[in-house]
Amino acid sequence: MTRIAIIGGGVSGLAAAFTLEEHRRAGTVEYTVYEASSRLGGVLRTEHIQGCLVEAGPDSFITEKPWAADLCRALGLGDQLIGSNDADRKTYIFVRGRLIPMPDGLMFMVPTKILPTAFSPLFSWSTKVRMAQELFHPPRSADSDESVASFVERHYGGEMVDRLADPLLSGIYGGEAASLGVRAVLPRFAEMERTHGSLGRAMLAARKKSPHPSNQSAPPLFTSLKNGMQQLTDTLMAKLNPSSLLINTLVQAAKAEAGGWTISSALESRQYDSIILAVPALSAARILSTCSPELSGELAAIGCTSSITVGLGYDRDVRHSLPPGFGFLVPRNEGKRLLAATFVHNKFPYRAPNDRALLRCFFAGSNADNIWQLSDDAIIAIVRNELQQILGLRAMPLFARVRKWKSAMAQYGVGHLERLDRIERLRRHFPGLALAGNGYRGIGIPDCIRSGNDAARQVLNP
Ligand SMILES: Cc1cc2nc3c(=O)[nH]c(=O)nc-3n(C[C@H](O)[C@H](O)[C@H](O)COP(=O)(O)OP(=O)(O)OC[C@H]3O[C@@H](n4cnc5c(N)ncnc54)[C@H](O)[C@@H]3O)c2cc1C
């Protein structure tokens, strides 16, 4: 019988436990999930307020990466998967006091349709000229990593960084384009530059080969669950052995000794053959600090940011007054604290009754740190004030819910992939140690689930 400890009861740890569950039933494995907080699920948290479904953490996952939808189907949730309303997909950027729609045909920041971009007021003429010149960008294989900001600036200039790349990445990583590394964050674009030079030409070539030609409907960009993202972790939990799940149990340290591992929490120490650290990289660093200061140092160097979400419900009048589309992003140099807001009632079905509007506002990184100590009421006042300035929205919300997530989003800085190689070399000194979670090879839910599955397979076949 192999004894395995999983530290962290978020979606990564629960996915690992689910992979181990069939081995537990077969009698070959025993596992224990340690979760510091009073609930399992990590940042996946859904609340039902006045008929609205309010996501405190993630609201969906990207459809293109299969591991989350595959897990949902394995859990019997296939008929609960819902797609984003892409027919209504429109995202605005708040520039110089007004909301400007992102032009049709932009793939992240790469224009693939000439006319909508050429006539868009989102970019100045000098940026539009840069976009045309970009088509002649020569192939380049860089020796070293660089920041996303410098990569985008080389292709399209600084305005593209400020107005598009930085706000789009802030919504995903909570971090700034100037500190994120292009090889880990935009690997596809780094590869396009190596093979084609021009991102525009590479994107057009890829579209020609696309399995979804324009006469076929493409799958929705985002996928969620009818009852919200917590439906995934609740269902996972229900499939696991209840006596294997320990909540309110903070793991303080893991020590490799006598061919196995000792896990210490405030209450006791227990022995295991293998451990899976499915916690944010900074927590993993703390847990391993006495066992391997070197590995711990590398893990701690993977940065992280905090974020705050604010869900706001409004009445029918507000719903009719809001612009169509999925919501807006706010570039940092516009002097606002809000980074993004989603019009949830437009983005997904089953989120709000027809006579309600549901908004989800997002702060991250330094914008979240600057208001972290404020009360919920003070944060709601900031949100309302900025929504008034951006949308002209003065109405009193029917409800407002603030959620704070401390250091929950990893930051893949410049040189992240080289750091992962060093981490892997150090990890190999500790057979029976596996790492999972958003600190390594993908911050989104599908990648986290894949990391949990892989970690479970790794400890089963060390
Ligand atoms: C506000 C927000 C919005 C997001 N939106 C999206 C989105 O729309 N789509 C998407 O794909 N991704 C999104 N993400 C990212 C994604 O949700 C996360 O990367 C992913 O859920 C992380 O899961 P995890 O299990 O690795 O970590 P977590 O969910 O952070 O879980 C880790 C768990 O470990 C526990 N823990 C930590 N230290 C210890 C310890 N010492 N002992 C015991 N337990 C410990 C914590 O309490 C926590 O429950 C979002 C993230 C946030 C914060």
Q: How confident is the model at residue 238 (pLDDT cuts 50, 70, 90)?
A: very high
Cα-based distances in Å from 250 to 8, 37, 390, 449: 9, 8, 42, 22
Cα-based distances in Å from 194 to 87, 166, 188, 432: 34, 22, 10, 37
According to the model, what pLDDT value does residue 166 have? 95
Share of the chain above pLDDT 70, in %: 98
Query: In whole angstroms, what is the distance from residue 221 CA to residue 342 CA?
Result: 15
Phi, psi of 445 (to 5 degrees): -60, -45
Q: Which atom of ligand 1 is nearest to 307's Cα?
A: 1
Q: 60: Cβ below 6 Å to ligand 1?
A: yes
According to the model, what pLDDT value does residue 214 have? 56
Pocket residue to mutate for ligand 1, from 276, 279, 404, most atoms within 8 A of Cβ: 279
Both tokens of 215, joined, read: 């006469």
Which residue from 241, 242, 278 is spatially nearest to 22, judged by alpha carbons? 241
Whether 10 contacts 283, CB under 8 Å: no
According to the model, what pLDDT value does residue 27 have? 96
Q: How confident is the model at residue 22 (pLDDT cuts 50, 70, 90)?
A: very high
Whether 437 contacts 454, CB under 8 Å: no
Whether 291 contacts 427, CB under 8 Å: no
Q: 279: Cβ below 6 Å to ligand 1?
A: yes
Phi, psi of 243 (to 5 degrees): -80, 0
Counting Cβ atoms within 10 Å, is residue 136 exposed (0-12), middle (13-18) or buried (19+)? exposed
Q: 365: Cβ below 6 Å to ligand 1?
A: no
Give the pLDDT confidence of 354-404 residue by residue, as tens digits. 999 999 999 999 999 999 999 999 999 999 999 999 999 999 999 999 999
According to the model, what pLDDT value does residue 140 have? 84
Q: 55: Cβ below 6 Å to ligand 1?
A: no
Task: Report pTM.
Answer: 0.96
Inter-residue long-range contacts of 75-81, CB under 8 Å, 24+ positions, other chains counted: 75/18, 75/232, 75/235, 75/236, 75/239, 76/235, 77/225, 77/231, 77/232, 77/235, 80/225, 80/226, 80/227, 80/231, 81/223, 81/224, 81/225
Give the pLDDT confidence of 307-316 residue by residue, as tens digits. 999 999 999 9
Query: Is 60 exceeded by the pLDDT of residue 7?
Result: yes
Give the pLDDT confidence of 287-296 residue by residue, as tens digits. 999 999 999 9
Q: How confident is the model at residue 211 (pLDDT cuts 50, 70, 90)?
A: low
Query: In whole angstroms, what is the distance from residue 382 CA to residue 402 CA?
Result: 12
Query: In whole angstroms, what is the distance from residue 9 CA to residue 15 CA?
Result: 9
Which residue from 359, 354, 252 is spatially nearest to 311, judged by alpha carbons? 359
According to the model, what pLDDT value does residue 216 have? 61
Beta strands in 346-398 (DSSP E): 357-364
Query: Is 80 exceeded by the pLDDT of residue 217?
Result: no
Q: What distance in angstroms lies between residue 43's CA and the mean position of ligand 1's atoms?
A: 4
Average pLDDT of the chain is 95
Query: In whole angstroms, what is the distance from residue 462 CA to residue 457 CA?
Result: 8
Query: In whole angstroms, what is the distance from residue 424 CA to residue 284 CA?
Result: 14
Q: What distance in angstroms lies between residue 10's CA and the mean position of ligand 1's atoms?
A: 6
Q: 278: Cβ below 6 Å to ligand 1?
A: yes
Q: What distance in angstroms lies between residue 365's CA and the mean position of ligand 1's atoms?
A: 16
Query: Is 90 exceeded by the pLDDT of residue 88?
Result: no
Phi, psi of 111 (to 5 degrees): -75, 130
Which domains does the chain carry? 2-40+232-302+412-460 (3.50.50.60), 106-209 (1.10.3110.10), 305-409 (3.90.660.20)
Q: How confident is the model at residue 207 (pLDDT cuts 50, 70, 90)?
A: confident
Q: 4: Cβ below 6 Å to ligand 1?
A: no
Which residue from 308, 291, 311 is spatially nearest to 299, judged by alpha carbons? 291
Q: What distance in angstroms lies between residue 201's CA and the mean position of ligand 1's atoms?
A: 36
Helix, strand or coil for residue 293? helix
Q: Which amino acid is at 396?
A: M
Query: Is 70 exceeded by the pLDDT of residue 407?
Result: yes
Q: 8: Cβ below 6 Å to ligand 1?
A: yes
Q: What distance in angstroms lies between residue 42's CA and the mean position of ligand 1's atoms?
A: 5
Whether 32 contacts 1, CB under 8 Å: no
Q: 283: Cβ below 6 Å to ligand 1?
A: yes
Share of the chain above pLDDT 90, in %: 88
According to the model, what pLDDT value does residue 213 have? 56
Q: What distance in angstroms lies between residue 118's CA and the mean position of ligand 1's atoms?
A: 40
Query: Is 80 exceeded by the pLDDT of residue 141?
Result: no
Rg of the chain in Å (alpha carbons): 23
Residue 264's DSSP bridge partners are 253, 269
Whether 149 contacts 157, CB under 8 Å: no
Give the pLDDT confidence of 323-364 residue by residue, as tens digits. 999 999 999 999 999 999 999 999 999 999 999 999 999 999
Pocket residue to mutate for ligand 1, from 43, 310, 362, 435, most atoms within 8 A of Cβ: 43
Query: Which of 63-77, 116-130, 134-148, 290-304 is the least confident region?
Result: 134-148
According to the model, what pLDDT value does residue 189 have? 95
Task: Give the residue-averaged pLDDT of 36-65.
Answer: 97
